Structure 1
Amino acid sequence: MPTNQDQRIFAIFMEEAGERLETLKTGVTKLPAIMADQDREEVASIYRAAHSIKGAAAMLMENMPSLASINKVSKRLEDCFKLVKDTPLKIDATTQTLYTKGFEVLKNLIDRAASPAGLSEEMGEKILQASLPLYDKLENNLKDLMSGKVAAATPKAATPKAATPTATTATATATATPAVANAVNQVMTVLKPMLQGLKQAESPETRKQLAGLCARLTKIGVGIEPWQVLVKTAHGAIANPKNSFKVLANPIINELKQGAELLQAGKASTIAPSATLLTLAGTKAAAKPATQEITIPADPKEVVKVLLKTFNKQQLQAIAQLLIKHVKS
């Protein structure tokens, strides 16, 4: 029987799942253009959305078995994006329809779970079993298309560009970092017992155990400063006896999981603890990563692409607020 703490964690899961569904919905809507694009970032973003739902459901389904269906369906959808996330592909109407139906199955399960009646284990299993032929068909269809796939363009070596009247050079806090293989799985093996610990009654011993679990994460991504800063900030927040487990659960679990996804994707330079986590840790300012110059193009659409690749969510929100302020002034 789910405890009150389980219900609070479930609410966090549903909030995050809603955000990931929006990413999937947007992606499925403009799938042909995204799939054919040589830049695979948008496909990778859709893939990570399905992956995040799968991982979050896995952490909760021990006490909430009905979430097993969400875990398994998101895994099948994730697999369908994994097949093509690194290779541009021209998809047909049938493939887009199958992707759309696959998304709708997952959305149906999550909507049911969020409803007052909830999602029963039996209903979840029934929906799962009915959807399996759909995902099988989608995977087979993708493999057929890939047998005549669009050849990926040979990546061109990046060359420094001098500033011109049509481009503005800016300084951004970003550094190239190597991808850490299997980082998400490594981090999840720590976050799962950490989540269970946050459900327990608060005591100095439990807090010490949680801090110990968090310290284990420093062994992942050794030498990658932004990740290490995030882990140390999370450790400080956990060790602070003023912070209740209820308050810690959301920022600790979500930020470490999102950080692991960026670490695995080779985007550790965009990892940064949120203002909330810094406050919980009693940290006034995050350590500053090394800076490098980026080129801001004149084309607004290209500017957006550069910003999305360079900054994390919190930084983008701050940039947006500053832009709005200056435009209005």
Structure 2
Amino acid sequence: MDNGNNERIVGYFIEEAKEHLETIEKGILDLSSAVNDEESINELFRAAHSIKGGAAMLNFTSISKTAHRLEDAFKILRDDPIQTDQTLESLFLKVYDILQDLLERLQGPLGLSEEEGEQIMETAEPHFVELLNYIQQLADGEIPATEPVTSASVRAASPSLTAIPNNEVVMQVRQILQQMLVIFKQDATPNNRQQLQSICDKLSQIAPTENGWQNLIKCAKQAIANPKHSYRLLAPVIIKEVKLAGDCLEVGKGSEIAPSQGLEQLAYSKLPQVLISVDPTIAAETITKIFNREQISKLVNLLQTTH
């Protein structure tokens, strides 16, 4: 297989894996509902299974193994629905964050080396065991023996991972994000956008004295207000950033909260935003679907003059 073709296949894998990640994150954020809905839990199982299979085919062992752990966990929930709790959601989010971290490294300029993947897997192994043991204990009706994991301990062990919710503030953020997800799944109407903006107002009230939090929520609200931005574009950006910011609030790191460049662009841009893959072939396909011939010609000329 030539190098160009291999890069193209990896690009396709990453794009597909991102969609599966979004499915998994939404399911975990609404885990209590998902376990009671056969189609929802099957969808989570299939998403993890697809990432596992694609990664195994491309020899991304660490990604494949992490997705496999999630697949095993979702299989238990699928075969034996249980009463979920906040600790279980937190443990699921830890493994999800490991998988997301691995995929982001793979997409980065340096890629994901086999050695780096092995190191991450070694650090993550206790998280995998803890998740599966906790699920099994719940399924068997035993009193869970594991202690709740705090955000502080997770950040200390692995700074690249998202903090784990454990207190009232983060619970509030999670519950409000679940309300947002319900609306993001619907058609984008003016009334829906107003509802989402009202939800942003609720979020801002959680930490009224934290300037970083207030600025981030303001950007989210403004991005939602722009009718040219689709929910498909808005949802993954806003959900992820608000979740991460809520985790910062919990561990007293509100000063570190700031909207990403992408969120700021969504907030202050008057033009519709388009997500373009780093893979040139996929990017070209996206551009040809969105722009007409004249616009593409102008884009080519602009690219030539800037290099």
Fold shared, TM-score > 0.5 on shorter chain: no
More contact order relative to length (CA 8 Å, sep ≥ 6): 1
Larger C-alpha radius of gyration, 1 or 2? 1
TM-score (norm 2): 0.45
- Identify the structure with the greater helix proportion: 2
TM-score (norm 1): 0.42
